[in-house]
Amino acid sequence: MDLRVKRTTKNIKDAFYELRKKKSVEKISVKELSELAMINKATFYLHYRDIYELSDKLENELIGEIIDDLRGVDFTAGEENFKLFFKKISNSILSHKEEIKTLFSGYENNHFINHLENKLKEYIFSAFPSIENNINNNIFITFIIHGAYQTYIRNTSVNSEILVEATTNFLLKLIDSYTF
């Protein structure tokens, strides 16, 4: 990719994050974003159809980064790998918490966890295809994902290592007591 295109894309993203910290997506105008990114509106439209497409792209990139952090973990190979899976997802969410907070503030918070849930289920079901069509398993996995996420969001003042360890241990106990 051309260095100028990379720089322009970075400026657009940085400007969007800066504006998004202050206001909802609906209130961000292309004109305002373009001025902050030091580009003209036509340049913005070369890259994105509208503000919503930019927002969606950033959301998808963030979710992709979180899922990428899990790559290489074979959580089908025993409890230690399961523990590693939970620690990696926990650490990834915590390491991206400022981006998550910015992109998914307010009512859009549910959008993030629902999107993450869908991607995590894809990842889990690719390893365990036999459990995908069981409604109880889907409910259980949803419960784990949403419960763990809310635990991280509501306990931001807790040391992250302690939070990850406590959550991981709880999830392992919960899974041990559940029959897939």
Whether the predicted pLDDT of 161 surpasses 90: no
Please check whether residues 83 and 110 belong to one and the same domain: yes
Please check whether residues 96 and 163 belong to one and the same domain: yes
Band of residue 37 on the pLDDT scale cut at 50, 70, 90: very high
Compute how many other C-beta atoms are within 10 angstroms of the C-beta atom of residue 48: 18
CATH number at residue 15: 1.10.10
- Using an 8 Å Cβ cutoff, are 20 and 56 in contact? no
Please check whether residues 70 and 44 belong to one and the same domain: no
**Count of domains in the chain?**
2
Please check whether residues 28 and 68 belong to one and the same domain: no
| Mean of pLDDT values over 157-178 | 85
Residue type, 66: I
- Using an 8 Å Cβ cutoff, are 59 and 112 in contact? yes
- Averaged confidence pLDDT in the chain: 89
Query: In angstroms, rounded to a whole number, what is the distance separating the alpha carbons of residues 146 and 137?
Result: 14
Please check whether residues 97 and 122 belong to one and the same domain: yes
| Mean of pLDDT values over 26-45 | 96
pLDDT at residue 107, rounded to an integer? 67
> Which of 1-15, 32-46, 149-163 has the highest mean predicted lDDT (pLDDT)?
32-46
Whether the predicted pLDDT of 172 surpasses 90: no
Please check whether residues 24 and 68 belong to one and the same domain: no
Band of residue 65 on the pLDDT scale cut at 50, 70, 90: very high
Please check whether residues 37 and 62 belong to one and the same domain: no
Please check whether residues 105 and 170 belong to one and the same domain: yes
Please check whether residues 41 and 83 belong to one and the same domain: no
Please check whether residues 168 and 92 belong to one and the same domain: yes
For residue range 80-127, what is the model confidence (pLDDT) as tens digits? 787 888 888 888 988 898 899 898 887 677 888 999 999 999 988 988
Domain extent, residue 38, equals 3-48
pLDDT at residue 28, rounded to an integer? 96
Sign of CA dihedral 17, 23, 25, 27: negative
Please check whether residues 84 and 65 belong to one and the same domain: yes
Please check whether residues 125 and 167 belong to one and the same domain: yes
